[in-house]
Amino acid sequence: MEFKYVIVGAGLAGLTMAERIANVWNEKVLVIEKRNHIGGNIYDSYNEDGILIHNYGPHIFHTKSEKVYQYLSEFTQWNDFWHRVLTYVDGNLVPMPITVETINKLYNLNLNVFEVEEFLHKQAEDIEEIKTSKDVALSKVGQDIYEKIFESYTKKQWGIDPAELDTSVISRIPIRLNRDTRYFADPYQGMPKHGYTKMCENMAKSKNIKIMLNTDYKEVIDDIKYDTLIYTGPTDYFYDYKHGKLSYRSINFEFETYDMDEFQEAPVVNYPNDYDYTRITEFKKLTWQEHKKTTICKEFPCAEGEPYYPFPTKDCKAQFSLYQEEMDKESKVIFIGRLAEYRYYNMDAVVERALDIFEQMDNK
């Protein structure tokens, strides 16, 4: 077989690169995917009751980038969806992220915007050097809110204390001194009208794109002649674990279907302190599907399984830097995406990264 471009992985990074190469350059491209479907972790499907579920947990599209939004809009229409999350604390459901409404519900107060700012300022601890996720939380909201909302949730999610985690983990969670209870404040937000899988199928429609599913690229790559390999899989696997296996956090998803119209108040409810799971998602509230039944998903973080979240610790970053040195020497391989770059990417950031890399290749 001969292809100028071979892409390993049919997630968002791989499909964006494939779509651009096929449609802008009119080049043939082979995509090799180990799973039995395209779309990576944004894959969605209809379960046996006919309810559209997100097979790898909830994915909500949001971005500040008009370029990314316009690009994906070529492949899907959008439901104008504004995500809202509730967190179960002390027997009450409070809005997440932290807003004026959260503080008032948490402490049974009636503070205005300015009073909440003063309240949080008094709670916050003066930390000389912010080194960890625990430091970030304590410096913003203080000990009590840290314990109520962040500490146990983070321990469940990562399996270690927030004091051992990089600042990036809790820094991603916004704190707003207003009454905006939307989870994301980005100007472009929505859910693909017909689902993520349909969007991905539209991205891969070109006759120039050939996709091999259920295939480990290492089993076939020696039989393929190519100029450039675009790799979106785990970097440690690419190098046969030469510098050891990189650490990831995984999740077990448990799906339950109930003969009722509604299970919970919000699309996603977090459980920082109660139960073994971190959150429950109710899919109909994401997709706007009308159905007499409803399907939920409970998430149980775990150490073994599919690699979902790169481990944000100094030791893990140091280990990956050894792989990075190897990657920098490659002349025929482009590494892109969450697994290949060993970093957490939101969907929009993955697409933007792929578009930027394609533009760099286009300008050479």
Q: What's the residue count for the chain?
A: 364
230 and 319 share one domain: yes
User: Phi and psi of 105, rounded to 5°?
Assistant: -70, -35
pLDDT < 70 regions, the chain: none
Residue 188 lies in a domain: no
**CA 153 to each of CA 150, 169, 276, 301: distance values in angstroms, whole numbers, following the listed order:** 5, 12, 10, 10
Q: Which of 148, 171, 194 is the last residue of a domain?
A: 171
156 and 232 share one domain: no
167 and 22 share one domain: no
Residue 48 lies in a domain: no
Q: Residue 91, by phi and psi: left (phi above 0), alpha (psi -120 to 50) or beta?
A: left
Q: Rounded to two decimals, what is the model's pTM?
A: 0.94
Query: pLDDT tens digit string along 48-80?
Result: 999 999 999 999 999 999 999 999 999 999 999
Q: Which of 118, 148, 171 is the last residue of a domain?
A: 171
Residue 103 lies in a domain: yes
- pLDDT confidence of residue 312: 81
217 and 129 share one domain: no
SS (H, E, C) 238-258: HCCCCCCCCCEEEEEEEEEEE
Q: Tell me, what DSSP letter sits at residue 132?
A: S
Q: Residue 230, by phi and psi: left (phi above 0), alpha (psi -120 to 50) or beta?
A: beta
- What are the residues whose beta carbons fall under 8 Å from the beta carbon of 235, sequence distance 6 or more? 246, 320, 323, 327, 335, 339, 340, 341, 342
Residue 290 lies in a domain: no
Task: Give the integer Cα–Cα distance in Å for 188 and 63.
Answer: 5
**CA 337 to each of CA 126, 231, 274, 291, 325: distance values in angstroms, whole numbers, following the listed order:** 36, 8, 34, 35, 17
326 and 239 share one domain: yes
Q: Tell me, what DSSP letter sits at residue 150?
A: I
**CA 246 to each of CA 7, 11, 273, 316, 329: distance values in angstroms, whole numbers, following the listed order:** 22, 20, 29, 7, 20
121 and 239 share one domain: no
Q: Which of 150, 171, 192 is the last residue of a domain?
A: 171
95 and 154 share one domain: yes
User: Phi and psi of 189, rounded to 5°?
Assistant: -140, 150
Residue 113 lies in a domain: yes
Residue 195 lies in a domain: no
162 and 239 share one domain: no
Any idea which residue has 């899907």 for tokens? 76
103-115 burial: b if 16+ Cβ within 10 Å, else e: bbbbeeeeeeeee
- pLDDT confidence of residue 107: 95
Residue 92 lies in a domain: yes
209 and 355 share one domain: yes
- pLDDT confidence of residue 363: 82
209 and 357 share one domain: yes
What is the domain range of residue 218? 5-38+204-246+310-362
Residue 251 lies in a domain: no
DSSP of 184-234, one letter per residue?
A: ---SEEEEETT-HHHHHHHHT--TTEEEE-S--HHHHGGG-B-SEEEE-S-
E strand or H helix that includes residue 143: helix 133-145
145 and 96 share one domain: yes
Dihedral sign for Cα 273, 275, 281, 284, please.
negative
Which CATH number covers residue 347? 3.40.50.720
- pLDDT confidence of residue 283: 98
Domain count, the chain: 2
**CA 311 to each of CA 40, 138, 165, 279: distance values in angstroms, whole numbers, following the listed order:** 19, 21, 8, 20
Contact by Cβ (8 Å): 126, 118: no
13 and 155 share one domain: no
